[in-house]
Structure 1
């Protein structure tokens, strides 16, 4: 079986398992049962076991999975077993926080370049990175072979920056700009809209509280 034969839902859940295993590794947990992994990822244990069975045999009955071994295997499946260099666009508050966020490097993502259009920011340093001129972005990312960019710019300039990115070999964008970006089909974009995520979280929490209140009524 090739990975193309694996259900999309299973591949998506591998990212959940990877995140859970990463947290367990930080907690220095050596093993984890399928039921515990399922609980953390909000799925059921049979689904965890079935998902992993597509890729081989893991774990020991009565003991569980070795956290480090399973995490390493999943990272290889997802082709995340080697460091990935990332270009960041926007050296404002969010951008600077991301550059100094240590867990990126722990998980194999290295923000190696930062760009901005603000003359006051260009040439300044954030951690070990010197902020470069956005005008140099196309040439610089080609030189470094960058595939992934993080967009941390205001909504009003995001479309302009997106057009610059579209003319490069960048194939993946993580955007913190709260707007849709028109990109070529071969460029995958994930938008992180913090206000919408908070609204969704609050709505779901209130729904859960309401449901539990109804369940408690005689």
Structure 2
């Protein structure tokens, strides 16, 4: 019976050897597909924005501020409000030594044009303004001609206002509204608008006042590349 077992063994071995190249090809195809998928997954598309960093200054709003003047020659006996404080219409701003009461004719943020102190004599000049916190805040960015070629109208602008750090307050989105030549040769002005009240990316409200400054980051181009 021993020779018979050897014959059977040889037949089984021959069958295995005859099938192995086909199996090898099938396995190779599977592994090739797996490796190809892994390579594709290791490539991902990266999109990034090129930005121009410039300072921005906000000089006013499209709503008319309320100008406050006092009675010349009187003295401020009681100063009820503080600079850059939000007030409601009818709120008392200050009281004079003649018991004259100066109130706000509209709601907004009070902005002192000059330092006001208790006991000071009221000058013949503008004392303060009440800046509405509704409408649009209007700002301007000064840029050089070499930079302006890459800034179209409608370009995205990221604003970080002075005294409102990004880590705590976030940033404010805006767009370039208009572009015009500046007073100086080779200079251009980028006009931007921000709706009031100003809300940051963290849903915090920034109180606006004339002369407010911000760091502006303007998107000049969007680039795409593949990274392994």
Give the TM-score range, shorter chain. Answer: under 0.3
Q: Which one has the largest radius of gyration?
A: 2
With normalisation by structure 2, the TM-score equals 0.21
With normalisation by structure 1, the TM-score equals 0.22
Q: Give the helix-richer structure, 1 or 2.
A: 1
Q: Give the strand-richer structure, 1 or 2.
A: 2
